[in-house]
Amino acid sequence: MKLDKTLIVTEALALLNQVGIDALSTRLLAERLKVQQPALYWHFKNKRALLDAMNDEMLRRGHRHRAPQAGESWQDFVRNNARSFRGALVAWRDGARVHAGTEANPDSLERFEAMLRFLVGHGMLAQNAMQLLLAVGRYTVGCVLEEQADAPEGPGRGAELDAAAQAYPLLSAAILAYRAGGHEAQFESGLALLVAGAEARLIGTSGAEKGRSAKVSEPDAEPVRQWQLPL
């Protein structure tokens, strides 16, 4: 069997599902591939490089909504993109931990530029669009991290907290709603808040631009200096 990067990553992902990220090691992977451990370092200089490649493959397989679709609103794109990203991470054991700490692959920079261009085309400032994408991405990773860190349910799990929360009616009702919704519902709730915040910011930015333009158009208005423009 010829050892190459594709085979190594494929087997590393399979091993990840079996043992989890804490137990994943180049030694175990070499045993699985029936090669000597140093053979892996011809292809990946360390475990971090291997994890980066595993992350790329997880997203390649599972992240299906990475670009805006024809006729899609920016709100729908942000939501669909986040859902697709979440799906790619939850498909693998410790998927969020594999992704955390990775950097964008240089091959994906053109796609990120297109995403920013799409959002800017809907009226966002480039830096605000970048902040939105980062916030949604990190929120998604955090949600999956919490979801995948959940301990198995057991007898009486949460009973002590529920009993103590009875003294706090608002908290008790909120906990009940939280548990009834589950991970996906909670993810959707937070995602809706992020999109709503971006909508409000966009409206505010547009209003500020209109007000600034009106002032500049007045006969006695001073010229707008470059440093006065929004960042």
CA distance 62 to 171: 37
Per-residue pLDDT tens over the stretch 77-87? 999 999 999 99
Taking the domains of the chain in order of start, what are their residue ranges? 66-149+157-202
Per-residue pLDDT tens over the stretch 80-132? 999 999 999 999 999 999 999 888 888 889 999 999 999 999 999 999 999 99
- pTM (2 d.p.): 0.83
Per-residue pLDDT tens over the stretch 24-49? 999 999 999 999 999 999 999 999 99
- Amino acid identity of 225? R
Give the pLDDT band (50/70/90) at residue 152. Answer: low
At the second CATH level, the architecture of 66-149+157-202 is Orthogonal Bundle (1.10)
Cβ–Cβ < 8 Å for 95, 144: yes
Q: What is the pLDDT at residue 96?
A: 98
Give residues with Cβ within 8 angstroms of 129, minimum separation 6.
115, 116, 119, 120
Comparing 50-59, 136-145, 164-173, the range with the smallest average pLDDT is: 164-173
Cβ–Cβ < 8 Å for 158, 213: no
